[in-house]
Amino acid sequence: MSSDNEKNYLKNGSGFSSWFFTMDHKRLGVMYLAGIGTFFVIAAIASLLLRAEHLTPAQTIVNAHSYNVLFTLHGAMMVFLFIVPGVAASFGNFLIPLMIGARDVIFPKLNLYSFWIYCFGALVFLIALAAPADTGWTFYTPYSIESGTNVILITTGIFILGFSSILTGINFIVTMHKLRAPGLTWDRLPLFCWAAYATSLLQVLATPVVAITLVLLIGERYFGLGFFDPARGGDPVLFQHFFWFYSHPAVYIMILPAMGIISEVIPVFSRKPIFGYRAIAYSSLAIALISFFVWGHHMFTSGQSKLINIIFSAITFAVAIPTAIKVFNWLWTMHRGSVQLSAAMLYALAFIFLFTIGGLTGLYLGALAPVVHLHDTYFVVAHMHYVMIGGTLFGLFSALHFWYPKMWGKMFDEFKAKIAFVLIFIGFNVTFFPQFIMGSLGMPRRYFNYDPEFTLFHQLSTYGSWITAIGFILMVYNFFKPISEAEGNPYKSVSLEWSMSSPPPTLNFDEIPTVTDSTYAYGNKIEQEG
């Protein structure tokens, strides 16, 4: 091993400057992970306060304005500071070069600038909390035009964050085109990379739309331009069209990387090659493509024409097909496999279960008849959280447990990890499943007070959030208390990132490897090696 590559990436320099000015993709991935983790905790605390407020039908701990502020903070921070950059920026940065046999991304400086932009956007967002917005995370007009809170500053922060997302997407796309190791054809590319590739396309193509929308909103507040204000000849529904044209593809920016993680975890702990490799790979691209044409299902009750509603409904059902292909192939991969219920595998299985519930309930919201009753009720809240949290968050937790030895060179306590999983899984379902029932009974979302008939359901949701929080605290504690040093490849994976020491060397590879076998060659290569 060369002298430049003797140290692992964690020991190659210390102190703030060695990290904040690094161009090592692994360190940047870790810093993204720290950033999104911090904002997740803040947003989660806001959600616990929201749930505590709903212990009783009347005011419990905060007033109506504070409730709206907490609701906006929770939603905006979860979406724009945690989930959207989330898996793609953190594990994408850390893993993609390792998985494709490269020493770094193709534009290391651009990668560093993307992180700085993320930090700057987050800083502007946090400054806005001095007089936090109360509009909800969607910033719907006309109220977002009229509100006296820091709408401009918080949307400026989100605008800046968009540049980080776009630049990261460009970097990943070019890296996967240009830096794949010899022999690593597209038919051998890890499925996480396929998912990251599809995600990057969405980041590059969809993010400019929401950026332009926020600029128009700022222009309307500052200069009185009449884009969305009916009093000035604008149309508030136009804002919804622009916002959801980005925000529904953004759902898949959140979900696709998590799907890629599941595609990596299941073969390892089933000791089988992935079933339907090409179907899973191409379904990621299909989901990315179709997601651009379904935004109108958020607006079925906004006054759109019946024909447009029918078209959007049909396309919404169509996007379920490539998603179902993934779920079927994951399940068939496990069929007759030697399934090991590690913590990472448990979170992967929970992902399949929860995301399936979220997807199936989404079909009700995509159908024109039931959506009239269910629109803007807690049914939508439950569906969204089963998809975004049950999907993205559980996928992220699976990744944290699976690649923990690779990132840190340590092993955590599997028993404690499984206890934390049980608490998180039970708590999550106790929190959000009653909301399906509430929504079906007509409980509107975003309401500060509610009818006493919904008290039991709200209390169950609140108690479930507490159980989830306890599980999360145990999980974090377990990560910060490793029990032993890790082997280079403790899970006996055959993918390239596990072919080196753990943690990885600074330069990843002394020599760029030549790939001669499938990324998922379980059942022959592993067993032969014993």
Degrees to nearest 5, angle at CA 40 with 34 and 45? 130
Reported as type and span, the H/E element at residue 315 is helix 306-334
Distance separating alpha carbons of residues 248 and 242, to the nearest angstrom:
11
DSSP 8-state assignment for residue 81: I
Give the amino acid at 432. F
CA-closest candidate to residue 75, choices 302, 301, 300, 247: 247
Domain boundaries, the chain: 24-529
Look at residue 530 in the predicted model and tell me its pLDDT: 40
CA distance 491 to 177: 29
Classify 436 as helix, strand or coil. Answer: helix
pLDDT at position 2 is 41
pTM of whole model > 0.85? yes
The helix-helix angle for 277-290 and 236-270 (nearest 10°) equals 170
Distances in Å between the alpha carbon of 352 and those of 94, 264, 344, 395, 401? 24, 14, 13, 9, 17
All residue ranges of the chain with pLDDT < 50 are 1-4, 525-530
Share of the chain above pLDDT 70, in %: 98
Of 472, 444, 422, residue with least CA distance to 54: 444
Query: d(Cα 100, Cα 182) in Å, to the nearest integer?
Result: 9
Residue 139 structure tokens: 């910033």
DSSP readout, 200-244?
A: HHHHHHHHHHHHHHHHHHHHHHHH---SS-GGGT--HHHHHHHHH
Q: How crowded is residue 183: how many other Cβ atoms within 10 Å of its Cβ?
A: 12
Query: Which residue type, as a one-letter code, is found at position 505?
Result: P
Q: Is 492 strand, coil or helix? A: coil
Please report, for the chain, how many H helices and E strands are present, in that order.
Answer: 18, 2
Gap between the Cα atoms of 240 and 425, Å rounded: 34
Give CA–CA dist 334/417, Å, rounded: 22
What pLDDT does residue 5 have?
56
Task: Express each pLDDT in 458-470 by its tens digit.
Answer: 999 999 999 999 9
Amino acid occupying residue 150:
N
Amino acid 89: pLDDT: 94
DSSP class of 438: H
CA distances from 149 to 135, 155, 221, 442, 463 (A): 9, 11, 12, 30, 32
**pLDDT tens sequence across 228-273:** 988 888 999 999 999 999 998 988 999 999 999 999 999 999 999 9
Asked whether 354 and 390 are in contact (CB, 8 A), the reply is yes
Question: Residue 526 has what pLDDT?
Answer: 44
pLDDT at 207: 94
- 283 to 204, 210, 430: CA distances (angstroms): 19, 25, 32
* Bridge partners for 411 per DSSP: 484
User: Quick one: pLDDT at residue 149?
Assistant: 87
DSSP 3-state assignment of 365? Answer: helix
Q: How far, in Å, CA of 49 to CA of 457, rounded?
A: 17
What per-residue confidence (pLDDT) applies to 259? 96
Tell me if residue 433 falls in helix, strand or coil.
helix
Phi and psi dihedrals of 411, rounded to 5? Answer: -115, 135
Q: Which of 422, 419, 350, 418 is nearest to 386 (CA)?
A: 350
CB 382 within 8 A of CB 329: no
CATH tag, 24-529: 1.20.210.10
**According to the model, what pLDDT value does residue 169 have?**
96
What CA–CA distance (Å, rounded) separates 483 from 265? 22
Asked whether 387 and 248 are in contact (CB, 8 A), the reply is no
